[in-house]
């Protein structure tokens, strides 16, 4: 995989200083919102290249979009118990800030809001000095992971299965920071504001500003982190500072964290309202048009699992046992068992399931499979959480934005005599 | 290498087919059909064209997405003629696929075909 910066850079050089008129001529139409374009910005029409884009620092990811950058990891590349940084999916709503030249220790975080008793501004150095450090393995998953399977097609990035991962994060507990600043009795939500910018270039608009109810923010696994797997966060993952509230849609875990707002109401920032990261409060038929007021905010993600070994599509000899393995996770819950099937769900066998490294980490499972005769098989995996909820074999309830698809993962195996 | 060879041959034999079936503009991935230049310009100024080409929707749903972008994402207003051409293009070229509750495992994740005599 080769890095891609050369070409865009040369185009950028070519266009640097070019007026809007010249740019409009190159695009072949006027650009009505040119006033919002940041200097050096290249319209995608010109910036795009025929070669499939790759992302520096990432290996084997499938890029769904390069503006904003969104990329997922094929299931078989998520086999590691702790997801390496180069295999963690990337989900951006806006343009990441330029962070190459900053001194991370000088990065400032403000804590304020209607229900913050002692608003404060701290540098990362002060945060690291003031609060106890913790390292936890925490799973993070895009709320729209699996969207591509919904019919009618749901709006948004067409994720298959790979917008999930479970690295190890180092930082401080959010509750230690919140307690330090004082949470008033009327506090309802803890929200973030960040340094990424809106795709349209309009600096007055935030691409995304979400958060969690106070109770979730105060859990001992909710963190403000600066490191992933012992290294500084990658720029695309929020360097130098981000939130991490595992088990909920990853969009609650703000990147490039600048402000924490202790709100006296449900946060109303970008992508908190309307239909974003919401599902119908009551089940609806596929294709239904649902009014905004009938859409409810997604909280905990549902029980889910992946088969990370073997890769789908292998040939396997009939006389050999096949080791199958993967991970399972369940939002705020723990996974209590994992079942596999090789006969399209007619019968299910219990797999070996390990405990999580800590609460809200994914759990590893493995099974040894023997096939009765040669032919085409699918291996299906199905997890069950400690509330008794399991993964559906077909698609779960349709919703307008295609969130929360936790249908069981399937891989194909051809067994040869 | 022994395992990779059939795959490479399959890919080579499929590639020209893919370009013949639809005339695709290679920088953007858009289908070249009436109205496509409007989509290239108006949609591609802010976001990747992959956001269009990966999506399937009926006319009303495409219009809803445009209205949402106009209301919240700084997309500008189109003249009625341009809007009609954009919707005509999207409705025809990126229409919903056949109904299903769950599709088979995609071809890219299936075992390679060994014989084609059947």
Burial label, A280 (beta-carbon count in 10 A; 0-12, 13-18, 19+): middle
Percent of chain A with pLDDT over 70: 87
Q: Is the dihedral of CA A145, A237, A1, B29 positive or negative?
A: positive
* Chain A residues touching B67 at Cβ < 8 A: none
Smallest Cα distance from A239 to chain B, Å? 23
Residue A181 has a pLDDT of 97
CA distance A382 to A303: 9
Where residue A53 falls among pLDDT bands split at 50, 70, 90?
low
CA distance B25 to B22: 9
Q: A199 — contact with chain B (CB < 8 Å)?
A: yes
Residue A28: which of B37, B101, B103 has the nearest Cβ? Answer: B37
For an interface test with A, which of B35, B46, B70, B114 has the most A Cβ atoms less than 10 Å from its Cβ? B46
Torsion over CA of B46, A290, A215 and A91, rounded to 10 degrees?
-30
* Chain A residues touching B100 at Cβ < 8 A: 151
Taking the CB of residue B101, how many other CB atoms lie within 10 A of it?
Answer: 13
Residue A315: which of B72, B101, B111 has the nearest Cβ? Answer: B111
Residue A49 has a pLDDT of 47
Longest alpha-carbon distance in chain A: 71
The tokens describing A356, both together, are 């999580």
Specify the fold of A104-297. Answer: Sulfite Oxidase; Chain A, domain 2 (3.90.420)
Residue A400 has a pLDDT of 95
User: Where are the strands (E) in A222-342, listed by range?
Assistant: 223-228, 231-232, 242-244, 257-263, 278-280, 295-297, 304-309, 314-317, 322-329, 335-341
Parallel/antiparallel/unpaired status of strands A363-369 and A352-353:
antiparallel
Residue A412: which of B56, B76, B109 has the nearest Cβ? Answer: B109
Residue B105: which of A66, A198, A312 has the nearest Cβ? Answer: A312
Determine the 3-state secondary structure of A328 from DSSP. strand
Q: Given a cut of 80, is residue A43 above it in pLDDT?
A: no
The class that CATH gives domain A304-416 is mainly beta
Where residue A4 falls among pLDDT bands split at 50, 70, 90?
very low
What's the rounded mean pLDDT across residues A312-334? 97
Enumerate residues 351 to 390 of chain A having a beta carbon within 8 A of any beta carbon in chain B.
Answer: 376, 378
Contact across the interface for A45 and B44, Cβ inside 8 Å? yes
Parallel/antiparallel/unpaired status of strands A108-112 and A257-263:
parallel
Residue B102 has a pLDDT of 87
Where residue B19 falls among pLDDT bands split at 50, 70, 90?
very low
Smallest Cα distance from B88 to chain A, Å? 18
Enumerate residues 47 to 66 of chain A having a beta carbon within 8 A of any beta carbon in chain B.
Answer: 48-50, 64-66
Taking the CB of residue A381, how many other CB atoms lie within 10 A of it?
Answer: 27
For an interface test with B, which of A15, A36, A67 has the most B Cβ atoms less than 10 Å from its Cβ? A67
Where residue B101 falls among pLDDT bands split at 50, 70, 90?
confident
Residue B116 has a pLDDT of 47
Burial label, A323 (beta-carbon count in 10 A; 0-12, 13-18, 19+): exposed
Average pLDDT, chain B: 81
A114-156 confidence digits (pLDDT tens): 999 999 999 999 999 999 999 999 999 999 999 999 988 898 9
Q: Given a cut of 50, is residue A329 above it in pLDDT?
A: yes
Contact present, A407 and A316 (Cβ < 8 Å): no
* Nearest alpha-carbon partner for A241 in A225, A263, A220: A225
ipTM of the complex: 0.71
Measured between alpha carbons, how far apart are the two ends of chain B, in Å? 27
Residue B25 has a pLDDT of 93
- Orientation of helix B36-44 relative to helix B80-93, angle to 10°: 100
The residue ranking higher by pLDDT, A393 or B115, is: A393
- Orientation of helix B59-72 relative to helix B80-93, angle to 10°: 130
Contact across the interface for B47 and A44, Cβ inside 8 Å? yes
Q: A412 — contact with chain B (CB < 8 Å)?
A: yes
Residue A364 has a pLDDT of 98
What's the rounded mean pLDDT across residues A184-208? 95
The residue ranking higher by pLDDT, A43 or A254, is: A254
- Which of A7-16, A161-170, A206-215 is predicted with the least confidence, judged by mean pLDDT? A7-16
- Residue A268's alpha-carbon distances to A75, A225, A264, A280, B37, in angstroms, are 35, 24, 11, 18, 37
Name the residue with tokens 């185009």: A11
Residue A240 has a pLDDT of 98
Residue B10 has a pLDDT of 43
Where residue B96 falls among pLDDT bands split at 50, 70, 90?
confident
A346-390 confidence digits (pLDDT tens): 999 999 999 999 999 999 999 999 999 999 999 999 999 999 999
Smallest Cα distance from B54 to chain A, Å? 6
Q: Given a cut of 90, is residue B118 above it in pLDDT?
A: no
The residue ranking higher by pLDDT, A74 or A25, is: A74
Smallest Cα distance from A124 to chain B, Å? 32
In A16-63, which residue ranges form alpha helices assigned H by DSSP?
A: 20-27, 44-47
Residue A33: φ, ψ to 5°? -105, 35
CA distance A156 to B47: 12
What's the rounded mean pLDDT across residues B39-60? 92
The tokens describing A162, both together, are 């790979």
What's the rounded mean pLDDT across residues A234-239? 95
Distance of CA A125 to the CA centre of its chain: 27
The residue ranking higher by pLDDT, A23 or B68, is: B68
Task: Tell me the domains of chain B and their CATH numbers.
Answer: 22-95 (1.10.760)
CA distance A238 to A257: 7
């Amino acid at each position: 995989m080769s890095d891609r910066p050369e070409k865009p850079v040369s185009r950028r050089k070519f266009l640097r200083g070019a007026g809007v008129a010249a740019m409009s001529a190159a695009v072949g139409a006027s650009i009505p919102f040119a006033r919002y374009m940041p200097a050096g910005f290249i319209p995608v029409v010109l910036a795009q290249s025929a070669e499939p884009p790759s992302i520096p620092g990432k290996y084997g990811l499938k890029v769904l979009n390069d503006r904003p950058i969104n990329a997922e990891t094929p299931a078989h590349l998520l086999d590691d118990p702790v997801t390496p940084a180069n295999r963690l999916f990337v989900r951006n709503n806006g343009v990441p800030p330029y962070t190459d030249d900053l001194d991370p220790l000088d990065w400032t975080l403000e804590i304020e809001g209607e229900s913050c008793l002692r608003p404060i501004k701290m540098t990362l150095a002060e945060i690291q000095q003031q609060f106890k450090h913790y390292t936890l393995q925490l799973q993070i998953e895009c709320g729209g992971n699996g969207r591509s399977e919904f019919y009618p097609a749901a709006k948004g990035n067409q994720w298959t299965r790979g917008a999930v991962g479970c690295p190890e994060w180092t930082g401080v507990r959010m509750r230690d920071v919140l307690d330090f600043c004082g949470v008033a009795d009327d506090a309802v939500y803890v929200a973030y504001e960040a340094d990424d910018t809106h795709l349209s270039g309009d600096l007055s608009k935030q691409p995304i500003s979400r958060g969690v109810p106070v109770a979730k923010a105060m859990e001992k696994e909710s963190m403000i982190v600066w490191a992933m797997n012992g290294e500084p966060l990658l720029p695309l993952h929020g360097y130098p500072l981000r939130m991490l509230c595992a088990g909920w849609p990853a969009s609650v875990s703000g990147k490039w964290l600048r402000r924490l707002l202790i709100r006296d109401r449900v946060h109303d920032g970008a992508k908190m309202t309307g239909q974003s990261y919401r599902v119908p409060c009551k089940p609806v038929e596929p294709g239904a048009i649902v009014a905004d007021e009938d859409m409810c905010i997604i909280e905990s993600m549902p029980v889910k699992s992946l088969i990370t070994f073997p890769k789908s599509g292998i040939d396997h000899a009939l006389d050999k046992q096949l080791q199958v393995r993967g991970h399972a996770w369940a939002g705020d819950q723990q996974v209590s068992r994992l079942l596999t099937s090789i006969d399209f769900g007619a019968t299910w066998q219990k797999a070996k399931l390990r405990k999580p490294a800590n609460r809200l980490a994914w759990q590893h499972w493995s099974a040894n499979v023997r096939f009765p005769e040669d032919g085409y098989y699918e291996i299906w995996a199905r997890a069950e959480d400690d509330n008794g909820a399991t993964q559906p074999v077909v698609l779960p309830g349709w919703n307008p934005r295609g969130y929360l698809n936790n249908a069981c993962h399937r891989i194909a195996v051809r067994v040869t005599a | 290498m022994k395992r990779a060879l059939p795959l490479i041959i399959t890919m080579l034999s499929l590639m020209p087919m893919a370009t013949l079936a639809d005339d695709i503009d290679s920088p953007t991935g858009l289908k070249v059909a009436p109205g496509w230049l409007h989509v290239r310009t108006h949609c591609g100024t802010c976001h990747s064209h992959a956001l269009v080409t990966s999506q399937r929707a009926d006319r009303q749903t495409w219009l809803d997405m445009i209205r949402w972008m106009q209301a919240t994402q700084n997309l500008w207003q189109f003249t009625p003629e341009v809007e009609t051409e954009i919707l005509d293009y999207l409705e025809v070229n990126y229409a919903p696929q056949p109904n299903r509750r769950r599709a088979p495992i995609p071809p890219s994740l299936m075992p390679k075909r060994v014989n084609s005599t059947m």
